[in-house]
Amino acid sequence: MTKTGKIETGGLEEAAGRVSAACAELKRLRAEFARCTAAASTGAQHTAALEQLREQRHELLAEAFADDVAADTGEVDTRIAEHERAHSEAIEAAAIARDATVVIQARIEAQHDLIEPLLADWREQAQQVLLQALDAAESDFGRAVSALGDPVARLTAIASMWTQITGKSVPADGREGLLEGLRGMGALRVRWDFSPLKRADVAAHYAPESYQGAGRFVVAWLDPSLADFGARELKDLRALLKVDEVQV
């Protein structure tokens, strides 16, 4: 990621370009293979027809030999000659096309071998870009969750004071499940520097090795019982109510 926070995609774009070019060449080779295969097939039809005529001539010769007479192959010889004149180029082209398919198939296999490392590099570059995007999204998420820390702390602290004073839960009045939901959302995890642990008075209650370090994530708003640490705006109210001295 650049200093401006922009995701660096240059390496991925270059890798994608190399893969795209290699795949385009593979596509071209496959098209050439299909063309040569079609040409070989067309020539094979002419060759098969010629072989059929030659087989007829062979049968005439065999029958004449069996009858001890001269074979009359004039008509079939004419047809063979006409077929050879008409399709000799196609038959020769078909033979060349068959040989060409062998050459092109080898090139296709070589192209596959070339593409594999290019794809591996592309996947590696893609992962690097995705990790950058993940880091950016993680930071945005951490900041958003951190911004909720103070109101969550106040809500939890007020509920705690209410219970200490009245011995009852905060009246619903449309708040059903709010605090319970917030406590459940405490399972949201962020990097410690987006949590209340970034404050020295909160961090003092935890061993640094329990939350610091790469890949360490902590509950976003800590345990609700510690949420009072974030309720700075309630200090005057707490003093007025003397909640800490109330015995329920």
Say if residues 218 and 146 touch (Cβ distance below 8 Å): no
Rounded Cα gap, residues 59 and 73, in angstroms: 10
* Token couple for 229: 């640490």
Residues 179-211: pLDDT tens digits?
Answer: 666 666 555 777 888 777 787 877 887 777 777
Residue 229: what pLDDT? Answer: 47
The domains of the chain are located at: 10-137, 148-245
Q: What is the pLDDT of residue 177?
A: 67
DSSP for 151-200, written as a single string: HHHHHHHHHHHHHHHHSSPPP-TT-TTHHHHHHHHTT-EEEGGGSGGGSH
Higher pLDDT pick, 24 / 136? 24
Pairing assessment for the beta strands 189-191 and 217-219 based on DSSP bridges: antiparallel
Q: Which residues pair with 217 in a beta bridge?
A: 191
DSSP state letter for 69: S
* pLDDT top residue among 97 and 209: 97
The pLDDT confidence band at residue 230, using thresholds 50, 70 and 90, is: very low
Spatial separation of the C-alpha atoms in residues 248 and 166, rounded to whole Å: 8
pLDDT at 182: 65
CA geometry: angle 186, 190, 191, nearest 5 deg:
140
Structural contact between residues 165 and 191, judged by C-beta atoms closer than 8 angstroms: no
- Work out the pLDDT band at 221, boundaries 50, 70, 90: low
pLDDT at site 242:
60
Residue appearing with tokens 């090139």: 107
Is 71 strand, coil or helix? coil
| Closest residue by Cα to residue 150 from 242, 220, 218 | 220
- 191 bridge partner residues: 217
Is the predicted pLDDT of residue 50 greater than 60, yes or no? yes
- 91, 71 in Cβ contact below 8 A? no
Kindly state the tokens that stand for 217.
């994530």
Q: Strand, helix or coil at 33?
A: helix
Residue 29: pLDDT above 70? yes
Distance CA 32, CA 174 (A): 72
Q: Are 164 and 245 within 8 A, CB to CB? A: no
* Local structure of 218: helix, strand or coil: strand
Give the model confidence (pLDDT) of 133-178 as tens digits.
888 888 888 888 778 777 777 777 787 788 888 888 777 666 656 7
d(CA 238, CA 223): 20
